[in-house]
Amino acid sequence: MRGDVEHWRQALDATLLPTGSLRRNAGGAIMSLPGYSDGAWWVQDAAAAMPAMLFGNVAGASVIDLCAAPGGKTAQLAAAGARVTAIDRSPRRVERLNANLARLSLRAECLVADATQWTPPEPARFVLLDAPCTATGAIRRHPDVPHLKTPDDVTRLAAVQERLLAAAVEMLAPGGMLVYCTCSLEPQEGVQQVTRLLARGARVERRAIKPEEIGGLRECLTADGDLRTLPCHLADYDGLDGFYAVRLVRV
């Protein structure tokens, strides 16, 4: 969302969520809604919008967005004033990312690369990794997900996430911040990844998330200070996708 939130709340007949996202009732073609063709807003679940918020003020800062397509988080960061380098291994998905940014009149450097192999030109202050996952957190919108995913999918993707997470840590400058997230309800794709990372002696430590950083939603934080949204959260507003996010700082 760009511009006056209250204006677009009224124009879209939407509800302002505590996290700052707007949510409207389903219905109507997205492309025909006010502001779409002008690039005033983009579609993103409220839970998916939270991880990029965890960096705080990124105006003028360089941010690396790994596995970036289709670009919701890239758009968030660019709209907040960050200089974004967006990485995705799929040329087709990067084309889509560029098209989305063009509609929004936002700029980012978009590169086709394998994030486990790519190295930034200099150590990074901010890295966002929204890793490929089983997407079981989207069950409220896609109830067929549990019937399409298997334990083998979880194991396979957890191995990919582990490699990506290790690579992301190596991109950080001392004091640099990494936000790792997945739209999954599976512990193997979330908190267990962090537990294994720390057990291997990775030079990072948790930076606990505070309720005020996510609209006061204390129920969406774990005892360790990680983000853990569930479909039952914000039930009065039709719920949230299941998302996990952790904030790590290079030491």
Provide the annotated active-site residues: 183
Estimate to the nearest angstrom the gap between the alpha carbon of 188 and the chain centroid: 18
d(CA 244, CA 250): 20
Q: Who contacts 8 (Cβ-Cβ below 8 Å, separation ≥6)? A: 1, 14, 22, 34, 35, 40, 41
List the one residue out of 197, 204, 183, 80 whose CA is nearest residue 139: 183
Q: Amino acid identity, residue 59?
A: A
